[in-house]
Amino acid sequence: MLKQVAEGVLVHESAFIQSNSVVVEGRTGVLLIDPGITRDELADLADDLRERNLTVVAGFSTHPDWDHVLWHARFGDAPRYGTAPCAAAMDELFSHADWRDLVADGLPPEHADEIPMELLGQITGLPAGAVQVPWDGPRVRILEHRAHAPGHAALLVEESGVLVAGDMLSDILMPFLDLRAENPIDDYLAALRLFDGVAGDVDAVIPGHGSVGDGAQLRSRIDLDRAYVEALRDGDEPDDPRIGPSAPLEWLTDVHDWQVQRLAQMTDDETSN
């Protein structure tokens, strides 16, 4: 069910890790951001839009992870945008004849048969350096970085003061670094500084996964994420409620341990070279 979180901004939450689909109302229709996750949930979202007499006139994917590049035929053939690196990542995926198998390897087993692949990743890349989403609606500023994935973008709906954060600023997930990047720690800290710069304009933050927060919670999430990443940088154990015995999801501790191991391996590789 769609829930309004600010004037002209609605959210549809999935059962899969509290994944948030975001709807921004414009003059002639809506901008649909990161719709997901299962076929039934996407159909429910389409039903909600129809009941409100809302037509999708544009889509946007915040980054190229599979759960942020989904679509449903009932949303229509509106242009689906992403940053240039986001679109390039999808093009690279589709260059493999077995791309469906590659995606399937990363799907959650409990939902694998329920996730539509037919329209996955059909993203139109915006010009490099694009600063706003091209659509007939309120100004939506693009805040591009590469903290979590290449071409990751947060979106700031300026009129409503809503920050759509993609896979960052979650109350249930600690930072997931892009460990394929050359400088994942620096990339993440740079993105958090980017969020610092707009925090005064934000009344609500919508993470890709987790609960919607207000402006004060945005600042506390930035601080918590920064503390986690700096602990990884400094070789310390983070004091973070999202990992350890109190973690909201038990597998997060394994992800944290894997990130620590990979960062240590990257440091060893740099030292040996």
pTM over the 0.75 mark: yes
pLDDT in tens, 35-65: 999 999 999 999 999 999 999 999 999 999 9
Which strands form 140-145's sheet, in the order they lie side by side? 140-145, 152-157, 162-166, 204-207, 213-214
* Topology at the third CATH level for domain 3-242: Metallo-beta-lactamase; Chain A (3.60.15)
Residues of the chain with pLDDT under 70: 270-273
pLDDT in tens, 201-236: 999 999 999 999 999 999 999 999 999 999 999 999
- Whole-angstrom CA distances from 99 to 28, 80, 103, 228 are 35, 20, 6, 33
Residue ranges per structural domain of the chain: 3-242
